[in-house]
């Protein structure tokens, strides 16, 4: 099950869905929409109706952040007994054609496969220098404070074995924005879970506006600093 949270992604949704479904015949898709005012949720319903059995939609009442959207999607997929669950952005930055690489990395003790930009073979396309600098600096800060060995702990393109998500008390996850990715990966890393980083190509969106904001950046910095100094509950 691939989970794609959406908020005002009407322009990107349909081509992304086509690529995801074409990437692997056994992959299903859950769109988690936060009541997008641009009609993304209605379009998602139309796509699901035209693709019965492979696309489902989970509607939420309002925009509550990336973390809560994924937690709701995880609960939906786990309840339906999906064996592997994938996170993917809706803006086209993550390439569905690389889904197979992530899924192939699971198994043999690996319960989390992270699509990494900052390892050999990883690539970022159409990002200005300052976006690269911010991402690299944020990743470096998190690695230092959390004493993590992961090279791209902020990446949002990742695949989990269901056992990994079941091992986490998801009610205690505290981050709403992009720090959610850091928190979840770090909890699993601290618990000794098998994690593997897989090189991916990250492409800057061509339609719509980035959801990254100063508030989200500050939240991540504050959360990482607090976790580094105080720790978080065990997985």
- Burial code (b: 16+ CB inside 10 Å, e: under 16) for 22-61 equals ebeeebbbbbbbbebeeebbebbbebbeeeeeebbbbebe
Lowest-pLDDT choice from 87-91, 138-142, 210-214: 210-214
pTM: 0.91
Quote the CA–CA distance of 154 and 182 in Å, as a whole number: 5
pLDDT at 235: 52
pLDDT at position 64 is 84
**pLDDT of 176 above 80:** no
Could you tell me the sign of the dihedral formed by the alpha carbons of 134, 32, 94, 71, in that order? positive
pLDDT at 159 over 90: yes
pLDDT at 32: 98
pLDDT over 60 at 90, yes or no? yes
Task: Give the model confidence (pLDDT) of 104-147 as tens digits.
Answer: 999 999 999 999 999 999 999 988 888 888 888 888 998 999 99
């Amino acid at each position: 099950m691939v989970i794609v949270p959406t908020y005002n992604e009407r322009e990107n949704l349909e081509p992304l869905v086509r690529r995801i479904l074409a990437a692997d015949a056994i992959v299903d898709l859950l769109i988690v929409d936060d009541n997008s005012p641009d009609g993304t949720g209605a379009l998602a319903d139309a796509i699901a109706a035209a693709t019965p059995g492979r696309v489902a939609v989970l509607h939420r009442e309002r925009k509550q952040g990336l973390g809560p959207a994924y937690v709701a999607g995880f609960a939906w997929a786990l309840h339906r007994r999906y064996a592997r669950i994938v996170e993917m952005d809706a803006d086209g930055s993550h390439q569905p054609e690389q889904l197979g690489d992530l899924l192939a990395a699971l198994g043999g003790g690996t319960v989390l496969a992270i699509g990494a930009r900052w390892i050999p073979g990883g690539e970022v396309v159409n990002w200005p220098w300052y976006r690269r600098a911010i991402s690299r600096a944020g990743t470096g800060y998190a690695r230092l404070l959390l004493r993590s060995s992961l090279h791209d702990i902020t990446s949002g393109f990742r695949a989990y074995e269901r056992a990994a998500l079941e091992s986490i008390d998801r009610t205690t996850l505290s981050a709403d924005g992009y720090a959610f990715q850091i928190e979840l990966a770090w909890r699993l890393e601290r618990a000794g879970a098998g994690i593997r980083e897989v090189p991916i190509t990250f492409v800057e969106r061509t339609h719509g506006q980035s959801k990254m904001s100063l508030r989200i950046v500050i939240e991540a910095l504050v959360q990482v600093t607090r976790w580094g100094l105080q720790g978080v509950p065990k997985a």
